[in-house]
Amino acid sequence: MCPLRLGRCEDSRVDPCRSTRPPAMPKGHSLRLTAAAAAELGRQAAVAGTPGLMHLDLQPNGCADWTIRLRPGHLAGVPIARADGLTLYAPGEQVGLLAGLNLDYRGDLSGGGFLVRGQEGVTSCACGAAFSRRPG
């Protein structure tokens, strides 16, 4: 029984006991977002009509082993990062590749872009949006 429900609810469409929390993120498998990245992702999601929801997936090859692709909405997958009212989702099978990475955003008068930075064993491409992981 819900501790908030003391009697019948006048409006059956309102359930104060229903949780509106997004699904939990896997422990130790999160991507870290800088404040600048969270702000830009939030802006892009709002412009696209999916406020607070973005999707990241990895495309093989390019200038490194993996290139990030960001799209608005919750296309599929699991939550991998949360910041400032934004939830970033990714395919479940790619979560291990994203662990320990930082996503940043840099912008200036000539434009801007997302940058992937990693810990030891991760090499970022000069473009900033691609990376490789050394085995081991």
Residues 6 or more apart whose Cβ sits within 8 Å of residue 33: 41, 81, 83, 86, 88, 102, 103
Q: Is 112 left (phi over 0), alpha (psi -120 to 50) or beta?
A: beta
pLDDT per residue over 117-133, tens digit each? 888 788 888 888 899 98
Residues above pLDDT 90, as percent of the chain:
51
Superfamily name with CATH number, domain 32-133: HesB-like domain (2.60.300.12)
pTM, full prediction: 0.75
Residue 114 and residue 129 in contact, taking contact as beta carbons nearer than 8 Å: yes
Domain ranges (residues) in the chain:
32-133
Question: How many CB atoms sit inside 10 A of residue 105's CB?
Answer: 19
pLDDT tens for 37-78 read: 999 999 999 999 999 999 999 999 888 999 999 999 988 899
